[in-house]
A = this chain, B = another copy of it.
């Protein structure tokens, strides 16, 4: 691999995402403070969903006084802003890679989304399938139910792990 000479492309991408996030917040009258930006960076840096306490440990490297409320408050904010999602099955958090981030579909910052969670390697992919969202909405309405938020999480094996055979790549 190439050394981390100046700035790896991934780091650049994260910095760009942070700047976009700051703009998006500002446009809504919210502020992505230094602390919140720091937490968001940690989430975006992680290759997989991260637990709140894992974030806390990392955060303490830069901010010795950090405590659970520190990270939970930041995460609450980031979720409200649609920058981060919570993965219920994992009690963990992941950066939004859906429409908000890439402007793929026409949804707002509280967009419908679904997670594909690989039991083999831990990779978690966010998708935004309108048929799923519509089917769930219709099913709820058929029961007289008025939905506000929906969680869809699928556990299984990702394409890479399926291709790699039984064991799957390192369950990192």
Contacts and interface: CB of A to CB of B under 8 A. Distances in A.
Interface of A: 88-89, 114, 116, 118-119, 125, 127, 129, 131-132, 134-136, 138-140, 142-159, 162
Interface centre among A149, A150, A154 (most CB of B within 10 A): A154
A153 B136 CA distance: 9
Given A145-B156, A145-B159, A154-B150, A127 B139 contact: yes
Contacts of A151: 88-89, 151-155
A145 B154 contact: yes
Contact of A139 (B114, B118, B147): B114
Given A127-B143, A139-B132, A88 B148 contact: no
A20 B157 CA distance: 34
Given A135-B131, A139-B114, A162 B144 contact: yes
22 contacts: A88-B88, A88-B151, A89-B151, A114-B136, A116-B143, A116-B145, A125-B143, A129-B135, A129-B142, A131-B138, A131-B139, A135-B135, A140-B156, A144-B162, A145-B159, A146-B156, A147-B155, A148-B156, A149-B155, A150-B152, A150-B153, A151-B154
